[in-house]
Chain A
């Protein structure tokens, strides 16, 4: 890592997306949702995982979008896909059938066991904030072989008790939670454990941003600094959305 590379300045969103992209391996079959997961999966295709197979719940299998799609049903996805299937087939044969290696998920709230809330903040009947709801998340969480949760780290998001359980993302040894501060994985008993921090972040800062007494691994790693190359590729990808 040269001095100039170490000086690269990234936004929290970029840090999170780039670290999520690093988790993907070439050739994996990856179910992609809207928002940051979409950016992370398409970034991985430009970096270490060009042969990553992108599956969108809208029915596109093996999509190779040139532009970063805004929605999971953009025209570019269908036009470049190897196969298009109905939504019923997508959920029953491909997701429910266990053919997805990696599923990406986001959440408004996450608890210490990687359960996720994307439904409502406050009570269900009289929500303070009504969120979009489940979508494909419960089945992706239940049926994908591994799950990458992408979420911003704050006490409002990392809560002791979810207002609503939408999805159960815990898979022993196959769940990773990537935040803008660090990386968490479930320990043997299923409770999330801090295993790495991003450059310049300390453990105390992460504890403060977590709404429960966070378990810390015996040895906490540092994620490699974001490189100029990674950042350029991500920014170029984002710029492509408007093209």
Chain B
């Protein structure tokens, strides 16, 4: 039987300083509320994994929570730069940030390998690019059947993965639909998974294009309506594109960023 916990408790119980943590959601269903809770609890020295760091990792990086970032596209989609990410890489502010960067195909396959409990994933990409020489998690491998040279990516195994989903039922089974990103892979690759959900229902009635993560794959379910904003949850909200555009100005300046985070995250008492 599901006993939904407070997000504050779930983060405090499962995430410690220095852990490898993945907050996944490919544009859709990004677990912003959980990221904000990590910031409020002052987590430090995290290795953050996400295909698209997006605004949530821009905020975590700018607030000094990260030591290392594993990613594949560090932009504000359709808008431009992630200024806090850039400031960390270009100027080491607020501290040095080690980066391991993949292509989308590379990191997606690294998650899939992690979920499959395999040491590496395999793909054709990376050949001829400079990505290989700057990423020790990528290597060349020969196909044992044809001899073809392929790329191997080391599996990603987060200590904790966090996702946001539309619903959980009273048993704790988690349902998400719409663009499903790499959430299933991130959850199954992780040592423990936390899911925040829009709604807790008596029984799931999965629409088309659904992903269900059984209760026994999720360590904690937290009821956090609106927990993906300014990202969105199909069926519950739409992407706040105006905020994504506004973030460009808010995040450009260190002080303005700090003020915004204080007002909207640090001093915000979650419901």
- A-to-B contact residues, CB < 8 Å: 34-35, 38, 57-60, 69-75, 77-79, 83-88, 91-92, 95-96, 119, 124, 126-139, 142-143, 164-168, 241
A133-B101, A136-B104 known; A127 vs B123 contact (CB < 8 Å): no
Q: Give the residue name and chain of the B residue nearest to A68 (CB).
A: B78
In the bound complex, what is the Cα–Cα distance between A74 and B103 (angstroms)? Answer: 21
A130 contacts B105, CB within 8 Å? no
A38-B78, A132-B81 known; A59 vs B26 contact (CB < 8 Å): yes
B104 contacts A134, CB within 8 Å? yes
B126 contacts A138, CB within 8 Å? yes
B181 contacts A166, CB within 8 Å? no
In the bound complex, what is the Cα–Cα distance between A84 and B179 (angstroms)? Answer: 6
B125 contacts A86, CB within 8 Å? no
A135 contacts B72, CB within 8 Å? yes
Q: Cβ of A86: which chain B residues have Cβ within 8 Å of it?
A: 180-182, 184-185, 211
Q: Give the residue name and chain of the A residue nearest to B128 (CB).
A: A168
A88 contacts B182, CB within 8 Å? yes
A87-B182, A142-B124, A168-B129 known; A71 vs B241 contact (CB < 8 Å): yes
In the bound complex, what is the Cα–Cα distance between A168 and B127 (angstroms)? Answer: 9
B232 contacts A75, CB within 8 Å? yes
B185 contacts A78, CB within 8 Å? no
Q: Give the residue name and chain of the A residue nearest to B185 (CB).
A: A88
Q: Cβ of B212: which chain A residues have Cβ within 8 Å of it?
A: none
Instruction: Identify the 8 closest CB pairs spanning chains A and B, nearest first.
Output: A73-B27, A132-B75, A135-B73, A71-B77, A91-B105, A70-B78, A134-B103, A84-B209
A136 contacts B105, CB within 8 Å? yes
Q: Cβ of A59: which chain B residues have Cβ within 8 Å of it?
A: 26, 179-181
B178 within 8 A of A: yes
Chain B, residues 174-192, CB within 8 Å of chain A (1/0): the string is 0000111110110000000
A176 → chain B closest CB, angstroms: 20
Within 8 Å by CB of B129, from A96, A128, A167, lies A167
A73 contacts B86, CB within 8 Å? no
B261 within 8 A of A: no
Q: Cβ of B109: which chain A residues have Cβ within 8 Å of it?
A: 88, 91-92
Q: Cβ of B75: which chain A residues have Cβ within 8 Å of it?
A: 34, 131-133, 135
Seed contacts A134-B131, A136-B73, A166-B129; 15 additional CB < 8 Å A-B pairs: A58-B28, A72-B78, A73-B239, A78-B179, A78-B209, A84-B209, A86-B185, A87-B51, A88-B182, A88-B185, A91-B105, A92-B105, A130-B89, A133-B74, A139-B103
